Amino acid sequence: MRADGAGPGDLARLLRPRSVAILGGRAAAEAVRQLRAVGYDGTIWPVHPSQAEIAGVPAYRSVAALPAAPDAAFVAVNRYATIEIVAALAARGAGGAVAYASGFAESGESGRTLQAKLVEAAGAMPVLGPNCYGFINYLDGVLLWPDQHGGRRVERGVAIVTQSGNIGLNLTMQRRAVPIAYLVTLGNQATLDALRMLGPSAQKLAITHQTGTADAEETRAGYAALGLVGRVEPFIVDMGDAYATADVVVARAGAMTCAELTAVGLPAVLVPYPYAADDHQRRNAEVLVRAGAAEMILDRELSGERLAATLRTLIDDPARRAAMAARARALGRPDAADRVAEACVRLLAN
């Protein structure tokens, strides 16, 4: 089935492609732009059934219409079309694919059935995903990645595999770390898994979910697959409004977040960012945990089951939420700006 004769599990063509097929709409267009921005010198073949071009590059109508089997493909269509396209790519002898769509095994029994069909459709062709943000190869200047990133071409470096596209993106922004040669993301569905495991209780929740630019689209699709209504935003502009309508917050544990939680008095489940300098987010979270204002789940221990169990104890116990809120408020410094201003005035006076 594979034109180069490579055996199952061989990722060489996928990760070091000389030709790339890009299939889909908005995410696909961004993937084309990122390929060109990184200086990819191979062939780019966008595929779309009705558009004449994608991000300024002429498009083909189907996989069958491509001039040859692509070494790699970025498949950013819905989950049902993903199965059909992966089958077509495998039949053409493509080197591998990134399956961007969510709504597979992470979404329940029907999704697991679809994922089994996807595996069958792929056959011996390697597939990253589904529910996968893509990969970046900084050694060879090629990526299948539908968003901005902060890395640059290198001659040597480490390889990173992460569940979360957002964490992967953040890692490319680091300036004090070792050089990154490869970044491969696999998708992070802990929050959506937790909501699924909450069962009927999740239907009663009014959820506001800030994802960052990287994960907004796939998170919306995840909510839809679960039949949940959630407000999913890349960034929340009015945090005051968001806090005012919240009973519980699930968040990282940056200094600003912790200061805000204590100023407004909200109970929280904190998941410290594991790559923060000197592990300071864990230390921030521990302050709130010791005061009885928050629960903490370390990133390496995060799973849908663990998060669901923690949230359930808060959802089902209003008295506990109220006690945690009071303890958070006791830690708050709502007059912090005045204190800083007064300190500055004293320094100037001296």
How confident is the model at residue 265, as a pLDDT? 94
**Cα–Cα distances in Å, from 79 out to 75, 101, 123?**
10, 5, 17
Whether 1 is in a domain gets the answer no
141 vs 11, residue with greater confidence: 141
How confident is the model at residue 50, as a pLDDT? 94
Per this entry, what is the length of the chain?
350
Residue 19 has pLDDT above 70, yes or no: yes
One domain for residues 141 and 29: yes
One domain for residues 142 and 28: yes
What is the CATH classification number for the domain harbouring 301?
Answer: 3.40.50.2000
Query: Beta strand pairing status for 53-54 and 19-24?
Result: unpaired
One domain for residues 126 and 25: yes
Average pLDDT over residues 3-12: 52
Examine the fold and report which residue of 148, 167, 190 is the final residue of a domain before the chain moves on.
148
One domain for residues 134 and 33: yes
Rounded Cα–Cα distance for residues 320 and 311 (Å): 12
Whether 251 is in a domain gets the answer yes
One domain for residues 244 and 138: no
How confident is the model at residue 3, as a pLDDT? 35
One domain for residues 20 and 143: yes
- The predicted-structure confidence for 321-340, as pLDDT tens digits, reads as follows 999 999 999 999 888 888 88
How confident is the model at residue 102, as a pLDDT? 78
**Cα–Cα distances in Å, from 324 out to 254, 256, 316?**
19, 19, 14
How confident is the model at residue 163, as a pLDDT? 58
Instruction: Give the best-scoring range by mean pLDDT among 100-104, 211-215, 223-227, 313-317.
Output: 313-317
Whether 3 is in a domain gets the answer no
Q: Are 253 and 284 in contact (CB under 8 A)?
A: yes
Which structure tokens are listed for 340? 């800083």
How confident is the model at residue 147, as a pLDDT? 82
Whether 93 is in a domain gets the answer yes
Model confidence at 130, pLDDT cuts 50, 70, 90, reads: confident
Whether 295 is in a domain gets the answer yes
How confident is the model at residue 103, as a pLDDT? 76
The residue segments making up the domain with residue 85 are: 12-148
Model confidence at 304, pLDDT cuts 50, 70, 90, reads: confident
Query: What does pTM read for this prediction?
Result: 0.57
Whether 20 is in a domain gets the answer yes
Average pLDDT over residues 151-169: 73
- The predicted-structure confidence for 188-200, as pLDDT tens digits, reads as follows 345 666 777 777 7
Residue 108 corresponds to which amino acid? G
Examine the fold and report which residue of 113, 148, 183 is the final residue of a domain before the chain moves on.
148
292: left (phi over 0), alpha (psi -120 to 50) or beta: left
Whether 177 is in a domain gets the answer no
Smallest CA-to-CA distance from 79 within 29, 124, 35, 132 is with: 132
- The predicted-structure confidence for 204-250, as pLDDT tens digits, reads as follows 788 888 877 767 777 888 888 778 878 888 888 888 888 888 999 99
Whether 137 is in a domain gets the answer yes
Considering its fold, how many domains does the chain have in total? 2
**HEC readout, the chain:** CCCCCCCCCCCHHHHCCCEEEEEECHHHHHHHHHHHHCCCCCEEEEECCCCCEECCEECECCCCCCCCCCCEEEEECCHHHHHHHHHHHHHHCCCCEEECCCCCHHHCHHHHHHHHHHHHHHCCCCEECCCCCEEEECCCCEEECCCCCCCCCCCCCEEEEECCHHHHHHHHHCCCCCCEEEEEECCCCHHHHHHHHCCHHHHCCCEEEECCHHHHHHHHHHHHHHCCCEEEECCCCCHHHHHHCCCCEEECCCHHHHHHHHHHCCCEEECCCCCCHHHHHHHHHHHHHHCCCEEECCHHHCCHHHHHHHHHHHHCCHHHHHHHHHHHHHHCCCCHHHHHHHHHHHHHHC
What is the CATH classification number for the domain harbouring 21?
Answer: 3.40.50.720
One domain for residues 26 and 143: yes
Residue 326 corresponds to which amino acid? A
Smallest CA-to-CA distance from 173 within 208, 213, 209, 140 is with: 213
Examine the fold and report which residue of 148, 175, 196 is the final residue of a domain before the chain moves on.
148
255-264 and 318-331 helices, crossing angle to 10°: 110
